[in-house]
Structure 1
């Protein structure tokens, strides 16, 4: 009995090792939810696949001729029903820059809202070029990883009519960014704050 108690004390009195951060695990999971499935793309097309990506990651999509935003992955129309995305709302979602490859092939996306997207980085804004022919309205706000360089990627969005930014702590010189964007996009109304 004594030996058993001594063993118990030695085994259970050892310091418990600190938990290893599981951030990498969740980052990997998020990357899997954001990557483009090329086989599925061939089956359902870019708009349906983009909607699946958005909803799987907690974002919202609005389809052409449908009045309400689609928020529930399980309520997406059948694969056989064609859909066209006209609005994307990424508020508080898990969308990442690698997922923005889903924008390739979209022909009707005109409005994008990126608010409190914790995984969003400058590369995502660069990939908005995939919808440069249709994108008219853009909001980028409370995305803590966006920098001046990321906002300067927006110069390629020649159809942009409205741009708003705020609460972007890593944007250091919003006046320089605004001046550059106004030169590149003279027809765009801008409300830029960092």
Structure 2
């Protein structure tokens, strides 16, 4: 299905000059990519029962171009095909979403994680405010968070972070739709007094 979608998109974006029909095709192509991204981000409940939350979350991350670090494993895992066998237990302690296709519906994969302590969201073009709200699933373990160059995040999204009671470090920058970072920082410091914050819009 993905190959068919890629062939379709290449055929619609490589023609010239652009006609009305081709413009419609390009719009449909973007919609198709959006649909594919949603499918790659949706939680597979049947597989969750089979492999557990950490394995399923790792598959979600790597399938969408993100990276994960497992407990007691020194290297970062970025290749889906090099994941350990399904019968090898893994626990995710770090999530790096840099330049990936993860989107907010995929953050439901965080449910059930017991060791995730660090999350980096950098240049995540599909990450929206709702994704930050879903970090509540790892409220008991999350200690470090970076949100940067994510163009869909607003002041309201950052305010979701106020409930992350164990957060020790928070970094934000290059968030063009955050309009009043000083107010956001003041509000967060009221509920997260032990968190070291470096907040820039």
Q: TM-score, normalised by structure 2?
A: 0.88
Could you say which structure has the larger radius of gyration?
Answer: 1
The one of 93, 96, 105 equivalent to 2:112 is: 105
Cα deviation, residue 19, structure 1: 3.1
Q: Which residue of 2 aligns with 1:32?
A: 39
1:17 pairs, out of 3, 16, 21, with 21
User: Aligned equivalents of 1:38 and 1:166: distance in 2?
Assistant: 35
Unpaired runs of at least 5, structure 2: 1-18
Q: 1:157 aligns with which of 153, 158, 164?
A: 164
**CA shift at 1:23, angstroms?**
1.1
SS at match of 1:163: strand
Q: Distance in 1 between matches of 2:20 and 2:169?
A: 55
| Equivalent residue, structure 1, for 2:52 | 45
Q: Distance in 2 between matches of 1:16 and 1:141?
A: 37
Counterparts of 2:181 and 2:40, CA distance in 1: 33
Task: List gaps (5 residues or longer) in structure 1.
Answer: 1-14
Which residue is 1:54 aligned to?
A: 61
SS in 1 for 2:113: coil
Q: Helix, strand or coil: the match of 2:85?
A: coil
* Match in the other structure for 2:8: none
Instruction: Indicate which of 168, 173, 182 corresponds to 2:189.
Output: 182
* Cα offset, 1:148, TM superposition: 0.3
Q: 1:18 is paired with a residue of what secondary structure? A: helix
- The answer as to 2:130 corresponding to 1:123 is yes
Shift in CA distance, 85/18, structure 1 to aligned 2, threshold 3 Å = same
Which contiguous aligned blocks of 4+ residues in structure 1 show a shift greater than 4 angstroms?
none
Q: Which residue of 2 aligns with 1:5?
A: none
Which is further off, 172-181 or 20-29?
Answer: 20-29
Cross-structure match for 1:139 = 146
SS at match of 1:87: strand
- So what's the TM-score if we normalise by structure 1? 0.91
| CA RMSD between the two structures | 0.8
The match for 1:192 is: 199
- CA deviations 1:37-60 (Å, max 9, x no partner) are 000000000000000000000000
Q: Please, which of 61, 64, 78 is the counterpart of residue 71 of structure 1?
A: 78
Secondary structure, counterpart of 1:145 in structure 2:
coil
CA distance in 2, matches of 1:16, 1:174: 42
Aligned-residue offset at 1:17? 2.6
Aligned to 2:11: none
How many pairs does the alignment contain? Answer: 180
